[in-house]
Structure 1
């Protein structure tokens, strides 16, 4: 058998890549994928089974595995298998059976080609036949390998050969995935629509919505709606067509008919209402089912709340169609809600309740991704920090090149060469522990580092969505761009740039029907790392600086809003389970700013007045007044004189102001509030409807010396058998 190298999202090393093979990745439901057909997976930890339907000639496939752990039972989390220090997991193919349309069955052979986890240390071995594969953890301390996925090929030959769709070999570089027919993709022989256009979809109300798709060049296309609107277009030389269809006021039970020269597609159960795009890192994607039990909602049967969730995708060039074959609109019910972003869900449900109309959310989240990955490269190519980020990734790929490198040697060398890079990017987010033997010197089509690469999430996840009709957008990202203070400070420039580009692009490509300043909201970072003990944390608190970056964008960029989350988070977990307050605060921002409702948002620092030995602080959005989170003194304020030495301050609420002083500062000039990585356990300041005040500073002193050594935040060790608990906070009275 000829040995080749294949780079795929979950692969370490691919040994056999015959055109007849069906490739399947399993181990975590969200990463489940196959090169043809639609795979599903049972939830048995020790005996998982994968069923693939929708193969050619009416065939389906069933593969039975066994999973055993040396040193204990197989441990599986909601995101995949988990492997503790010194343990090993062995995956074995027990059987693989093809079922034909006539009822006959046939056994087929298969072999494992890879196993991968997150960025913790591990090594794998496989038997000679590839029937089993073992991953052994070499982690130290409290580290674990998480999110483990295994990939295997089924060598389908003989009478079973027609089961899989043949791929076009491309020896010079990894082959671009070929979209396979799957239920969510609405298409006929000559007419195809993006995955956003399917049953249960929701359209933005009272505007001209952009419809697009593909047909034969020159073919006339007509879209007719049950509410009476109709529009036509002709496919261009590349087969793409585009038109505008007007929508009325909100409603449900509608349908759409898309008709070409020969073929017709009908879309049923269409709703019209408010549509919001929700994008960002893993905390945006953190599912309802993984939150605290107290945040589980017993009332999730909401047929007029519609959810579109995309898989995590990245690609080296802009895509016109999502590669994710399973994306589709779903009405909200116990199954769809459990896997939906908790922040997005609580935001959408609150809008749905308060406005009394259908609401749709488009969830686009990818763990561990920097903001650079969510913007086109052309937009940031002149940014020195983006250039340095890209150069570091390119250099890491270049150092992988080696003639005749064996898989195990390449893995060891790859881990060694990426140590410096990983030290800069590992802030606890997901990154696969994988290697690309004989990779090109520049990551033109990266797999392992692709979700770190500039533009890659924009290319694969955002570009295919433009210009679908939306009212606004929610953004929850920034952890990955807050490794150090200079990086966190620069984030204010990048976020403003991203907002401007998204708005301009959606506006222009929608023919001006999506507002050029559509509402854009973002989540200020929560608390993380051990609780605050010093009055002010300096270079050790890049998250405090990132919070300021977001507040500056909220102040300076029109029609933006910020959900303050300083009273959520966890001292060790980067993915806190208290997402409900964030979603509800985003809803309050939207209800006030976008929909004109009487809702309060978080107070922001407005101005200071120095009065002798006191500083008086004023705020916006105070509402009916200010209050402390709990009885006792406000102990989160720090005060300094011209010497820039910070001291804990005495702080008192007087009306709608806070008066700050210290016996140690005779001539105060500046105040900082909650200026730390994790000030959540102190007595925080709120308005009387339960919205927390944003952390702030009144000074403009430099936050870092550009010539000094950079201090990076360290991921705190997680105590053994730690149980995460939610923190007490004032109830939101709206």
Structure 2
């Protein structure tokens, strides 16, 4: 265990009513009497870092001894799967064998919080403290471990990390219920099917509805009625523009939805081997072409690419049908427009645009709500954060946002609301540092809307709150893996922020270049940056800066040429004579090669706020 230094430490527990409890820790000895409900609490005087210590907790008839306690700094580490990801387990970090072998840091301890959710705030949580060693480090949160390792190396003090994270979770579940209820009414609309008045009764009834819903999923009427057949009457099917998560159209719905689109091929393209790409689909799909199944995939982060036998394609009209099954969270065909196409030996044809669809089985039809942390706001806060609000901590590191992609404009409200709600519960302005979303998915052929870029922007806007910091990692993600394995640099960059901002080591540069201003001269845009450290640099032997796009009054962005001119970046395009807006790294998986000389990447930005980006 690690207890926070330089702050009074609250010790609490449960006993018989009116029982006297004595706590002995180091040179301190304090007593308290339990109240009529058996609750008791006392505060130990603040202590400097050190240890190991033992703590004696004595009651009327029992005696508890806690050993190997250190006093140092404690950091709460929370978020979704990229914070949860272990050093080695369901995924593994780069070079994990060596990392495990060398993980001899006995002054680093982790408390892995047992997953749980609750409609009411809990006062206790299950979990256990572990000492950092080659035998145990595999189960540490990788980001939290590499963060703690850098702090320990620089500060030479004990570091405790409380890992309270859960993969696939939305930020709403981490916000305190009272703070969420204070948000504008539209934020509560997505939870209208959840009865909070009697949550236990709701869960029982929900289980009955779940059984009926799952039976319907197994007996999909779309399969029984062969909706994949080109002769199916779709005159009453609705229309939807793809790609997008279907929540934008259907609301908060899980289940099975069928999509269909026809496309026309010229004679020279028929009868030739073909590839169909649909991009990522959330969660599972089965895909037919002209009534014949050509593939199926399971998993929301997989790019769907299916080979089509030459005999299936015909001159003229062809029909593609996709059955999408979604089990929780966002659903549908949600990638980039450039990810959706059919490619023949002669040409490439986009499949983005208008499709028709029909819902086959939905949870709403059965009044069933998927029981998960995302079913209601505050569930994870109540079970996995609230139990610690009386335990002093130094600060928070956070890695989350992937599950809120598609709702970036809501995230602008939700993220600062969560930070403020946690600070309110701890009673002080906790340092709060987070990881901006990594680069992910396919590269853009041309500039286009990016929901990942919009979410990153919402994260950046939250820097307006005091005592905050952001680790930019758009250069170290993996386009094919939602859980990039380079967690060493993620933890390292978070630690740089903490060392600079919390520990006063101002000589440590903790941020890459951040947009400051733009100045248009002729057809060129001159960009100035803050946080340039020892100066700007380009990781390209020819000096070309990648990832910039510019637009004129028509709001159509074009890729731009960019180069350094001293500590300014000069941006232009032969297609734009009068530029008025600039974007950098504005895509799901941007090209990034602009850094400061301290090795930290420039942050994504845009100078416009055009409505067409929504």
Q: Does 1:330 align with 2:241?
A: no
Tell me, yes or no, if the aligned pair for 1:314 and 1:459 is still in contact at 8 Å. yes
TM-score, scaled to structure 1: 0.61
Q: What are the residue-to-residue correspondences of 1:707-718 with 2, within 5 Å?
A: none
**Separation (CA, whole Å) in 2 of partners of 1:402 and 1:211:** 42
Between 1:403-412 and 1:497-506, the stretch displaced more is 403-412
Alignment pair present for 1:546 and 2:455: yes
Q: Secondary structure at the match of 1:212?
A: strand
Partner in structure 1 of residue 563 of structure 2: 652
Task: Specify the SS of the correspondent of 1:335.
Answer: coil
Q: Is the 8 A contact 1:674 1:696 kept in 2?
A: yes
Hey, what does 1:639 align to over in structure 2? Answer: 550
Structure 1 segment 500-579 matched on structure 2, within 5 A? 500-507=420-427, 516-534=428-446, 536-538=447-449, 541-554=450-463, 556-579=464-487
- Over 3 Å counting, the alpha-carbon distance change for 1:500 and 1:420 in structure 2 is farther
> Could you tell me how far 1:524 is from its partner in structure 2?
0.3
1:488 matched residue in structure 2: 408
Q: Does 1:629 align with 2:435?
A: no
Greater Cα shift, 569-578 or 208-217: 569-578
Identify which of 601, 604, 610 aligns with 2:520.
610
CA gap of 1:397–1:272, structure 2 versus 1, over 3 A, is closer
> The residue matched to 1:692 in structure 2 has which SS?
coil
Distance of aligned partners of 1:442 and 1:454 in 2 relative to their CA distance in 1, 3 Å threshold: farther
What is the SS of the residue equivalent to 1:386? helix
Matches within 5 A, 1:5-154: none
2:73 to 229, 250, 274: 274
Alignment-derived partner of residue 189 in structure 2: 388
| 1:622-642 deviation per Cα after TM superposition (whole angstroms, max 9, x unaligned) | 110111223231121111122
Task: Summarize the Cα distance change of 1:645–1:451 in structure 2 as closer, same or farther, 3 Å threshold.
Answer: closer
Q: Which of these residues, 700, 705, 713, is aligned with residue 609 of structure 2?
A: 700
Q: Does 1:448 align with 2:371?
A: yes
Describe the shift of the 1:390–1:609 C-alpha distance in structure 2 as closer, same or farther (beyond 3 A).
same
Quote how far apart the aligned CAs of 1:605 are.
1.1
Out of 65, 70, 84, the residue aligned to residue 285 of structure 1 is 84
Q: Measure, in 2, the Cα distance between the counterparts of 1:401 and 1:356.
A: 52
1:599 to 496, 500, 508: 508
C-alpha contact (below 8 Å) 1:309/1:364 kept by paired residues: yes
In proportion to residue count, which structure has more strand?
Answer: 2
Distance across 2 between alignment mates of 1:332 and 1:518: 25
Residue 678 (1) aligns with residue 607 (2): no
- CA 1:248–1:413 in structure 2 vs 1: closer, same or farther (change >3 Å)? farther
Q: Deviations over 1:240-284 (max 9, x none)?
A: 112211232211211111222332212111101111000010110
1:570 positional shift: 2.0
Map of 1:294 onto structure 2 = 95
Task: Give the C-alpha shift of residue 488 in structure 1.
Answer: 1.2
1:404–1:578 CA distance, 2 compared to 1 (3 A): closer
| Deviation by residue 1:351-376 (Cα, 9 ceiling, x = unmatched) | 00011111110001111110011113
Structure 1 pair 629–415 and aligned structure 2 pair: CA distance change class (3 A):
farther
Gaps of 5+ in 2: 197-201, 223-252, 259-279, 284-298, 303-324, 329-362
2:168 counterpart of 1:258: no
User: What is the aligned partner in structure 2 of residue 359 from structure 1?
Assistant: 159
Instruction: For 2:152 and 2:136, locate their aligned partners in 1 and report how far apart those are by CA, in whole Å.
Output: 17
- The list of structure 1 runs, each at least 4 consecutive aligned residues, that deviate by more than 4 angstroms after superposition, is 392-408, 413-417, 420-427, 429-434
Secondary structure in 1 aligned to 2:76?
A: strand
Is 1:307–2:143 an aligned residue pair?
no
Closer/same/farther in 2, CA of residues 279 and 414 from structure 1, 3 Å limit: farther
Match of 1:458 among 381, 387, 393: 381
Q: By how many angstroms is 1:306 displaced?
A: 0.7
Choose 360-369 or 327-336, whichever is displaced more: 327-336
How much does 1:402 deviate?
6.3
Task: Say if 1:650 and 1:662, in contact at 8 Å, map to a contact too.
Answer: yes
- Structure 2 distance, partners of 1:619, 1:368, is 35
State the alpha-carbon separation in 1 of the partners of residues 103 and 478 from structure 2. Answer: 27
2:333 corresponds in structure 1 to none
After superposition, the C-alpha distances for 1:596-654 in whole angstroms (9 at most, x for unaligned) are: 11211222112222233222212221110111223231121111122212122121112
> For the Cα contact (< 8 Å) 2:217–2:255, is it kept in 1?
no
Q: How does 1:160-309 map to 2 (within 5 A)?
A: 201-226=1-26, 228-289=27-88, 290-294=91-95, 296-297=98-99, 298-309=101-112
Structure 1 residues 424 and 650: CA distance shift in structure 2, 3 A: closer
Which residue of structure 2 aligns with residue 371 of structure 1?
171
> Which residue of the partner structure matches residue 123 of structure 2?
320
Report whether the alignment pairs 1:409 with 2:215: yes
- Give the conservation status (yes or no) of the 8 Å contact 1:615–1:661: yes
Deviation at 1:526, TM superposition (A): 0.3
Name the Cα RMSD after superposition.
3.3
Q: 1:392 to 1:650 in 2, by over 3 A?
A: farther
Q: Judging changes above 3 Å, is the alpha-carbon distance between structure 1 residues 432 and 319 closer, same or farther for their aligned structure 2 residues?
A: farther
Alpha-carbon separation, structure 2, partners of 1:616 and 1:693: 15
Within the candidate set 479, 484, 498, 2:418 is matched to 498
- Alpha-carbon distance change, 321 to 442 in structure 1, aligned in 2, over 3 angstroms: farther
Correspondence for 1:586: 494
* Aligned mates of 2:254, 2:453 — CA distance in 1: 28
How many residues align? The count is 479
Greater shift, 300-309 or 290-299, is seen at: 290-299
Per the alignment, do residues 408 and 274 of structure 1 end up closer, same or farther by CA in structure 2, a change over 3 Å counting?
closer
TM-score scaled by length of structure 2: 0.72
What per-residue deviation string (whole Å, max 9, x for no partner) do you get for residues 502-533 of structure 1? 011111xxxxxxxx211001110001111232
User: Aligned partners of 1:404 and 1:697: how far apart in 2?
Assistant: 45
The superposition leaves residues 163-194 of structure 1 with CA deviations (integer Å, 9 ceiling, x where unpaired) of: xxxxxxxxxxxxxxxxxxxxxxxxxxxxxxxx
Q: Would the aligned equivalents of 2:15 and 2:38 in 1 still touch at CA under 8 Å?
A: yes
